Amino acid sequence: MAVSVNIDLGYEFEVKAKADEVFAVLSDVPTSVSHFPKVEKLTDMGDGVYKWEMQKVGTAQVNIQTVYASKYVTDKAKGTVKWTPVKGVGNALVGGSWKITDVKGKTTKVVLKIDGTVEVPLPGLMKMVVEPVVASEFEKLVEKYIDNLIKRFGGEA
């Protein structure tokens, strides 16, 4: 039996770097992921598909590791990087997008959306306990990722 935890996050921020630089980093999946905390392994599966294996979280007795794959598609003209879940890999389905917009040649507006589901191998009775913990942990990782990217791009505008 497993507990399904839904993830639905959205962030907007502006950085000092030029849009081309921001797009170059965010559209290069290994470079972008290098800023994401607690990634144990990223595997290029070919054709724009990357498999993420996160570090285990929890205690020695009870821990979970999130593993999933997403297919990435970039469009420089639109300033977008989109990823869709690949079914049958790991215990999560994660999709989302980056939208990168030049602001008068001075700063760059970045919008991140993430949505997905993580399957946690625990009894259904644990849902009320597990769901907020998993959702909170995912949110903290994404916020640290954004902080790391903001530093990489020279700070917030």
Q: How far apart are CA 31 and CA 29, in angstroms?
A: 5
Which pLDDT does position 89 carry in this prediction? 97
Domain carrying residue 29: 3-152
How many residues comprise the chain?
157
**The two structure tokens encoding residue 55:** 């570090």
Question: At 144, which CATH number?
Answer: 3.30.530.20
Number of structural domains in the chain: 1
62: its two tokens: 């009870």
Residue type, position 32, single letter:
S
Residue 157 falls inside a structural domain: no
pLDDT of residue 133: 83
**The pLDDT value given to residue 134:** 84
Digit-by-digit pLDDT tens for the chain (157 residues) are: 788 999 999 999 999 999 999 999 999 999 999 999 999 999 999 999 999 999 987 767 667 789 999 999 999 999 999 999 999 999 999 999 999 999 998 999 999 999 999 998 888 888 888 888 888 889 999 999 999 999 999 999 8
The answer to whether position 115 is within a domain reads yes
Cα four-point dihedral sign 137, 48, 85, 52: negative
